[in-house]
Amino acid sequence: MIAADKVASDVASHFDRMKSEGCSFADARLYDEDSSQRLVLYDGNLESNTSSIERGLGVRVLKDGAWGFAATADLAAVAACFDRALSNARAAAHLPGFPKDMGLPQPTTGSYRSPVQKDPFEVPLAEKLAFLKGIDATLEDKTIAQRIVWAAFQRRKIIYWNTEGTEVDRWVSNVFATMMAMAPDKDGRTHRRSVELHGDGTGTRGWEWLTEPKWFSGHADRIKSELAEVLAADPLPPGRRDLIILPGQGFLQVHETIGHALELDRILGYELSYAGGSHVRPEMIGKLRYGSEKLNCRAGKHQNSPGTFGFDDEGTPQRDYMLIDGGVLVNVLSSRTDLGEANELAGREVFTESGSAARATSFYRTPIDRMTNISIDPGNDGTLDDIIAATEDGIIVDVPVSWSIGSNREHFHFGTEIAWEVRDGKKTRVHKNPTYQGHTLEFWRSLDMVGDQSTWCLQQVANCGKGEPNQVMQLGHGVPVLRFKNVQTGEKE
């Protein structure tokens, strides 16, 4: 195996060669290790156990305002990889488009390590399966038709270099898990209740996170009994009412109607053919009232989240910054290369620095603008009980079962696993088949209560998809309990 040190010296010599060929910038990412494992139990039986290990190099060169990218798993062929990237940049330079520009150099050195006490890849398979089977056994019940428990683990060691002298390395550990119970109601329609591994944004990202009962296994009894309540419940009658969103649903509301809408490459139209566009335009920065004054949304750096990685795939140290401040849109998710184009479109300098959101899913994919931790700051409207007590006519919803979002993220429709009715300040009966819908800006402007820190929860996203070829990305959302006024809920017959 060719050592990382040898790759580093090869890359340095080819950086010099690319500069002599007229490239204004070049970078390289060595995935020294990219390991993953996924275990899936169906009804207590091991349905799949898949593992992968990858190692390779991805190279970008910038010449005449155009990117060229190439990748190789053959680390004896670094020269050919740079040649291919250069050839691709030369070809791309003939295509129409706004010239790419990295802006001012920002040489950086550093290291990032995910906090881990017990590396999941060091845990024996038998111990992993015993843990998952223990959860499955708790879910087992004659009323439940199907049970799914799965866990996935990632371990990545990535070294990044560029022609500005940047050298950063990262060891990233991710753990994901879901448990789900499903059963048909008296009409034969299947319902489900589930929970994912979640947290409070602190702590560690190793095996010890997964096995801490309060973040995962301790919820099995609860979802089983809640599913029984859903099966016995009446459908949610349609109507406009207040909507209280728990973090298990709030994360997807943020993901789909704030996160994706604020990715600069979508705003500029580069994702139109697959992921879609955005209702946001560069000139709206600093002006658009995205939500009520209660809405404070940031690209955060919570210690314990798959959206925390130290340095992005352009070597930019991860930033913690506001996207929406007091309801006003103030920034977006960006990398370095498109800021000039966005500023020209805005007719003024709306962006001065990268949002540290350039992320690639593997060595053989080029970085694109991705979510990091897109989180809502806790508010000062108290606990969940306080918010319920202040609600006359509403519902509480948790965990998505279906979602449909406008291609520019301008409107949405969600179905959730469960809804609890709130009447005169009290949580009452459960309803099945809850749904709600709205227009993104109108909806966020109707946000009138934001729960305190006790309601804030970090939810993980294991499989955000974007880009062509597709790139699956991992990230996090920290969300408090949120209340929205007068929302359209339920389906009209």
Instruction: Choose between 352 and 463: whose C-beta lies nearer to Zn ion.
Output: 463
446: left (phi over 0), alpha (psi -120 to 50) or beta: alpha
Write out the two tokens for 160.
């990044």
Q: Nearest 5°: phi and psi at 488?
A: -75, 115
Compute the least distance from the CB of residue 262 to Zn ion, in Å: 12
Nearer to Zn ion, 271 or 381 (CB): 271
Nearest to 45 by CA among 152, 150, 192: 150
CB of 231 to Zn ion, least distance (A): 31
Contact 388, 425 (CB under 8 A): yes
Q: Which of residues 366-405 bind Zn ion (CB under 5 A)?
A: none
State the minimum distance, in angstroms, from the CB of residue 392 to Zn ion: 35
- Nearer to Zn ion among residue 166 and residue 474 (C-beta): 474
Closer Cβ to Zn ion, 374 or 464, answer by number: 464
Least separation in angstroms between residue 296's CB and Zn ion is 21
Calculate the CA 383 to chain-centre distance.
26
Least separation in angstroms between CB 361 and Zn ion: 12
CB 314 within 8 A of CB 167: no
Q: Which two tokens stand for residue 231?
A: 């099966």
Q: Which is nearer to Zn ion, 55 or 413 (CB)?
A: 413
Is the CB of 299 or the CB of 450 nearer to Zn ion? 299
Smallest distance from Zn ion to CB 303, Å: 22
Q: Which of the 8 DSSP states describes residue 236?
A: P
Structure tokens at 196: 């994912």
CB of 480 to Zn ion, least distance (A): 21
253/488 with CB nearer Zn ion: 253
Question: Which H or E run includes 88?
Answer: helix 78-92
**Shortest Cβ contact with Zn ion: which residue?**
464
Using alpha carbons, list the distances in angstroms from residue 195 to 155, 417, 445.
Answer: 23, 11, 29
Nearest approach, Cβ of 71 to Zn ion (angstroms)? 23
Specify which residues 6 forms β-bridges with: none
Please give the angle made by the CA atoms of 97, 98 and 100, to the nearest 5 degrees. 115
CB closer to Zn ion out of 23 and 464: 464
Number of residues lying near Zn ion (CB under 5 A): 1
Chain position carrying tokens 């295509």 = 95
| C-alpha span between 260 and 95 (Å, rounded) | 27
Determine if 262 is a binding residue for Zn ion (CB under 5 A): no
How far lies 434's CA from each of 5, 338, 455, in Å? 56, 41, 22
Sign of CA dihedral 295, 300, 306, 312: positive
Q: What is the DSSP letter of 474?
A: E
- Which sign does the torsion angle of CA 8, 11, 16, 17 carry? positive
Kindly state the smallest distance separating residue 135's Cβ from Zn ion, in Å. Answer: 27
Tokens standing for residue 151: 């866990």
Segments of 312-357 assigned E as strands: 321-325, 328-329
Minimum distance from residue 205 beta carbon to Zn ion (Å)? 21
Using CA atoms, how far apart are residues 268 and 94, in angstroms rounded to an integer? 20
Smallest distance, Å, CB 260 to Zn ion?
6
Helix axis angle, 4-20 relative to 78-92, nearest 10°? 40
Burial class (CB in 10 A: 0-12, 13-18, 19+), 195: buried
Nearer Cβ to Zn ion, position 241 or 370?
370
> Closer CB to Zn ion, residue 357 or residue 388?
357
Structure tokens at 78: 């670094």
* Residue numbers 108-127 binding Zn ion by CB under 5 A: none
Contacts to Zn ion from residues 412-471, by CB under 5 A: 464
User: Please, which residue, 458 or 464, has the CB nearer to Zn ion?
Assistant: 464
- The residues that touch Zn ion, with contacts defined as CB under 5 A, are 464
